Amino acid sequence: MTIRTRFAPSPTGYLHIGGARTALYAWLFAKQQQGTFILRIEDTDRERSTPESIQAILEAMDWLKLDYQEGPFYQTQCFDRYAEVIQQLIATGKAYRCYCSKERLDALRETQQANKEKPRYDGHCRHLTEQLTDQPFVIRFCNPKDGEVVFEDAIKGEIRFSNSELDDLIIARTDGVPTYNLTVVVDDWDMKISHVIRGDDHVNNTPRQINIFKALDANPPIYAHVPMILGEDGKRLSKRHGAVSVMQYREDGFLPHTLLNYLARLGWSHGDQEIFSRDELISLFKLSSINRSPAALNTQKLLWLNQHYLKNAPREEIMPELIWHMQRANIDVTNGPTLIDIINVQAERCKTLCEMVEKSRFFYEEVEAYDPTAAQKNLMSETLPVFRYLVEKFEALGNWEKEALHEIIKEAAAALDVGMGKIAQPLRVALTGNTVSPPIDETLALLGKEKTLERVKQALVFIDS
Ligand code: GLU
């Protein structure tokens, strides 16, 4: 069997993490089986689809490096094909025009509700012999009246629906625009999709789609319905839960591979392994190992994973993201240490790239003001001899390196008979404006001789004034 999967988002908003996870599973499965992964934009709902959303989806797929071998295809470019299939269904007696007015349908629904019946179309126009050319109409699919639709879901196992539960669904609206259940079948059929991997909010559509496949004498694909993602509170995920858009995670300072690893594990597992490279995900992924129950978000775990990758991912993978964040923060990275050095010195103490950027700003920008509490505690008259001593030693130092700088601080502590902390902490405030920085010798080494001296002298002036 040739494996062909697709991701079929409706461009009515950004790509949210639920969609991204579905896309990831479809992508992983195709990659692993040396199949084809297809991107199909389901944009037939013209009122709700926007070019901005299409752009946002493409951008997010790109950021996650979920590459597609075919597409993006756009459903709005396939209306002729949908019309052709609808005609075929009408010609073979599998679909019909329905002229029922809104009033009739409303009255029908009310009666059914009053009788505690499930609201459904009663097939009134199914056997009309006369076609009313001047009346508006929709096209309905003749759903089989009897029997069952049974399919083996690759995640959930066997699923059964009785045909008596399904009514004759509308496949084209009065304006001729085909509806979701029709277009999805035509495309899955034409694109020879072998596995439909999608959110389980579509389970109820599946028997309808299978019936349309059968009416077209076509074989339905294998379906795999992925359970929902829940918020940290166990409730259905919504905007209320904060970041749900993939690109928001980028803005919040996560690496694309962190998010991929996290989403893969959110609802799928391979023993208790947590860290997966891309290649491992591709080789180990199994549809049958996707959990049957919904998975809840866990921000702590996401942060932990991100820190793991900040520490361990190849620097060239982190670099483009760090550059992106530095630019967003308006930091001129030509005016300071290399970004490789920044990653090496900061990864240990940062969970996100945003944190890394903010904690590194002082390397590139002047200290405009000291944190008042830090200054009060550290930049006082007792600090004067310490700083004077350091200025002298720093000025004389030829090899501006971590080890030599460490020696100077040690010597200063001995010479002035104070603890190392009494030197490192005031120095930190002078250099960064605050009391947090990487180890002081590394900070000094990276900041460079010129900036260090400038800032220590600036602090001397501050203390004196
Ligand atoms: N366009 C549908 C959606 O975004 C997905 C349809 C499908 O995967 O079958 O919910």
For the chain, how many structural domains are there in total? 4
Residue with tokens 């790239």: 353
Task: Quote the CA–CA distance of 390 and 403 in Å, as a whole number.
Answer: 15
> In this structure, are 170 and 273 located in the same domain?
no
Q: What's the CA gap between 267 and 22, in Å, rounded?
A: 11
Angle at 115 between CA 109 and CA 121, to 5 degrees: 30
Does the CB atom of residue 42 touch ligand 1 within 6 A?
yes
What 3-state DSSP class applies to 367?
coil
Cβ atoms within 10 Å, residue 146: 7
Q: What's the pLDDT score for residue 239?
A: 72
* Pocket of ligand 1 contains residue 409 by CB under 6 Å: no
CATH number at residue 146: 3.40.50.620
Q: What are 149's strand-pairing partners?
A: 161
CA of 40 to the centre of ligand 1 (A): 9
Q: Is 236 strand, coil or helix?
A: strand
The answer, yes or no, to whether any atom of ligand 1 lies below 6 A from the CB of 225, is: no
- pLDDT, residue 243, reads 66
Ligand 1 centroid to residue 281 C-alpha, Å: 24
Q: What is the DSSP string of 313-379?
A: S-HHHHHHHHHHHHHHTT--TTSSS-HHHHHHHHGGG-SSHHHHHHHHHHHHS------HHHHHHHS
Q: Are residues 349 and 394 in the same domain?
A: no
CA 206 / ligand 1 centre spacing (Å): 11
Q: Which atom of ligand 1 is nearest to the CA of 9?
A: 4
- What is the Å distance from ligand 1's center to 82 Cα? 17
Q: Are residues 197 and 329 in the same domain?
A: no
Residues 234 and 321 in one domain: no
Residues 101 and 181 placed together within one structural domain of the fold: yes
Q: State whether the beta carbon of 9 lies less than 6 angstroms from ligand 1.
A: yes
CB 187 near ligand 1, within 6 Å: no
Answer yes or no: is the C-beta of 205 below 6 A from any ligand 1 atom: no
Instruction: Please check whether residues 433 and 376 belong to one and the same domain.
Output: yes
Same domain, 205 and 87: yes
User: Among candidates 4, 6, 20, which has minimal Cα distance to 59?
Assistant: 20
Whether 452 and 337 map to the same domain: the answer is: no
Q: What atom of ligand 1 comes closest to residue 22's alpha carbon?
A: 8
Whole-angstrom Cα distance, residue 94 to residue 179?
A: 16
pTM of the predicted model as reported, rounded to 2 decimal places:
0.94
**Residue 25: inside a domain:** yes
| Residue 416: both structure tokens together | 């002035």
Does some domain include residue 309?
no
One pLDDT digit (tens) per residue for the chain, 465 residues: 899 999 999 999 999 999 999 999 999 999 999 999 999 999 999 899 999 999 999 999 999 999 999 999 999 999 999 999 999 999 999 999 999 999 999 999 999 999 999 999 999 999 988 878 889 999 999 999 999 999 999 999 999 999 999 999 999 999 999 999 999 999 999 999 999 999 999 999 999 999 999 999 999 999 999 999 999 998 888 777 876 899 999 999 999 999 999 999 999 999 999 999 999 999 999 999 999 999 999 999 999 999 999 999 999 999 999 999 999 999 999 999 999 999 999 999 999 999 999 999 999 999 999 999 999 999 999 999 999 999 999 999 999 999 999 999 999 999 999 999 999 999 999 999 999 999 999 999 999 999 999 999 999 999 998
Testing ligand 1's pocket by substitution, the residue of 42, 54, 74 carrying the most ligand atoms inside 8 A of its CB is 42
13 lines ligand 1 (CB under 6 A): no
Q: Is 444 a domain residue?
A: yes
Instruction: Tell me how far apart the alpha carbons of residues 40 and 264 are, in angstroms, rounded to a whole number.
Output: 21
Is 263 close to ligand 1, i.e. is its CB under 6 Å away?
no
Sequence letter at residue 332: D
Q: Measure the CA–CA gap between 21 and 290, rounded to whole angstroms.
A: 11
DSSP assignment, residue 74? E
How remote is the C-alpha of 145 from its chain's centroid?
Answer: 42
User: Helices 339-346 and 440-447: crossing angle, nearest 10°?
Assistant: 170
161 alpha carbon – ligand 1 mean position (Å): 20
Contact by Cβ (8 Å): 94, 142: yes
**Distance (Å) of CA 119 to CA 122, 148, 164, 168, 179:** 9, 19, 12, 12, 19
What secondary structure letter does DSSP report for 230? E
Residue 16 beta carbon below 6 angstroms from any ligand 1 atom? no
**DSSP H or E run through 406:** helix 402-416
Whether 255 and 159 map to the same domain: the answer is no
User: Counting atoms of ligand 1 from 1, which one is nearest the CA of 198?
Assistant: 8
Q: Are residues 180 and 290 in the same domain?
A: no
Q: Residue 224 Cα, ligand 1 centroid: separation in angstroms?
A: 13
Host domain of residue 207: 78-226
Any atom of ligand 1 within 6 Å of the Cβ of 295: no
One-character DSSP codes across 144-171: -SSSEEEEEETTTEEEEEEGGG----EE
Q: End of a domain among 304, 324, 345?
A: 304
Q: Domain of 417: which CATH number?
A: 1.10.10.350
Asked if residue 140 is part of any domain, the answer here is yes
Contacts of 439 (CB under 8 A, 6+ apart): none
Contact, 213 vs 181, CB < 8 A? no
Task: Indicate if 335 and 399 belong to the same structural domain.
Answer: no
